[in-house]
Amino acid sequence: MTEDLILYTVEDHVATITFNRPENQNTISGPMLAKLSQLLIESDADEEIRAIVITGTGKFFCAGLDLRGSDITDNLTKENKKPANLDLRNTPPTVLHNLDTPTIAAINGSAAGYGMDLALGCDIRIMTDGAKLAAAFTSRGVVPESGGTWILPRLIGWSKASEIIFTGKTLSAKESEDMGLVSKVVNSNEIYEEASVLAGKIAKNAPLAVQASKRMMRMGLNENFDDHVHHVFLQLLPLFQSDDFKEGMASFMEKRDPDFKGR
C-alpha cells in the first residue's frame, strides 16, 4: 500500500511526510509521486498546518525515482507518446514550489537525483553529517528534471551549479553547508529533533504572515524591485485586518507570548 510507503503525521501544527521504503533506499515509484503531491496539497490547504517537514527512514532521504519496472519509464518511452500530453501541474516539484506553507527538508541520509531536487525545492534544508547530495543526472543520461536546473543556479550561482550538474558531482554535508545549500549540519541522531524544533518555531508565528512572506519571496524571484514592493504593500493591507495582527500588537504591548489563530 502506498500509505505504508509514505507516512504522514500531524502534531502541534506541523505535518511530517516520511518516505518509508528503506530497503529500496527510499526511491519513489509512480504511485508514491501521486501520493506525495496529494499530501502536499492537502497540507497546504489545512488551516491547522503551519509547517511541513519532509524526511525519510533509514540511511537514505531519497535515492531518486524507482525506474525498475516502473510506470514512470513506461509512460516516457511509449511509442508515439506526445509531449503535449505531459501535464506537470500536479507533480511534486511544481506543487512543492507553489506551496504557501513553509517546508523543511530533514535530509536524514543521502539524497540523489530526484531526491536531491526534492530537497532543494524545500524552503529550508538541514542535513546529517554523513549524508550526501548526489547530482546523478548527466551520469545517467538525463537532466535534473525536477527543478534542479532552475533552483541550483539561484542558490549558489551559475559557475558552481554548472560544475555540479555537468560533472554529476556528489557533495558531502560539509560541502553542502559551505555552499549554502543547507542551513545546518547535525549528527544523525539529532536530525528529526532539529527539524521538529525549527518547524515549531515557524508554527509559533502568525501563519497568515508567514505564508504571505513566503509568497512574496517566491514572486520576488521574477520581479523587479518597484513591482515587488508594490505587491508587498497590497499583501500587507489584508494582514492589517486580521485577528492575528491585533493579537501580535496586543501581545507585544502586554509583554506576553502571542496566541495566533491563523485568521
| DSSP run (H or E) holding 52 | strand 51-56
* 188 shares a domain with 213: no
Q: How far apart (Å, rounded) are the C-alpha atoms in residues 120 and 241?
A: 34
Q: Please, are residues 105 and 124 in contact by the beta-carbon 8 Å criterion?
A: yes
Q: CA-based Rg of the chain, rounded to a whole angstrom?
A: 19
Contacts of residue 97, Cβ cutoff 8 Å, sequence gap at least 6: 121, 147, 218
Of 174, 13, 17, 142, nearest to 73 by C-alpha is: 142
Q: How far apart (Å, rounded) are the C-alpha atoms in residues 33 and 37?
A: 6
* 185 shares a domain with 83: yes
> Could you tell me the three cell numbers for 233?
504593500
> Which residues are 19's β-sheet partners?
6, 56
Q: What's the confidence (pLDDT) of residue 43?
A: 96
Question: Which pLDDT tens digits describe the chain residue by residue (263 residues)?
Answer: 567 999 999 999 999 999 999 999 999 988 999 999 999 999 999 999 999 999 999 999 999 888 775 555 555 445 545 555 567 788 899 999 999 999 999 999 999 999 999 999 999 999 999 999 999 888 778 888 788 899 999 999 999 999 999 999 999 999 999 999 999 999 989 999 999 999 999 999 999 999 999 999 999 999 999 999 999 999 999 999 999 999 999 999 999 899 999 89
Q: How far apart (Å, rounded) are the C-alpha atoms in residues 116 and 110?
A: 8
* 194 shares a domain with 233: no
> Could you tell me the three cell numbers for 110?
543521502
Query: Is residue 261 in some structural domain?
Result: no
Phi-psi region of 26 (alpha: psi -120 to 50; beta: other; left: phi over 0): left
Assign 3-state DSSP to the chain and report helix, strand, coil percentages, each to 5. Answer: 50, 15, 30
Q: How far apart (Å, rounded) are the C-alpha atoms in residues 17 and 199?
A: 13
Looking at the structure of the chain, the number of domains it has is: 2
Three-class SS of residue 65? strand
Residue 70 is part of a domain; what is its CATH number? 3.90.226.10
According to DSSP, residue 167 is labeled H
What pTM was estimated for this model as a whole? Answer: 0.89
Query: Is residue 263 in some structural domain?
Result: no
Q: Which of 188, 203, 218 is the endpoint of a domain?
A: 203
Range of the domain at 223: 207-253
Q: What's the confidence (pLDDT) of residue 202?
A: 96
* 214 shares a domain with 97: no
Q: What's the confidence (pLDDT) of residue 85?
A: 59
Residue 239 is part of a domain; what is its CATH number? 1.10.12
Q: What's the confidence (pLDDT) of residue 210?
A: 96
Q: What's the confidence (pLDDT) of residue 167?
A: 93
* 136 shares a domain with 8: yes
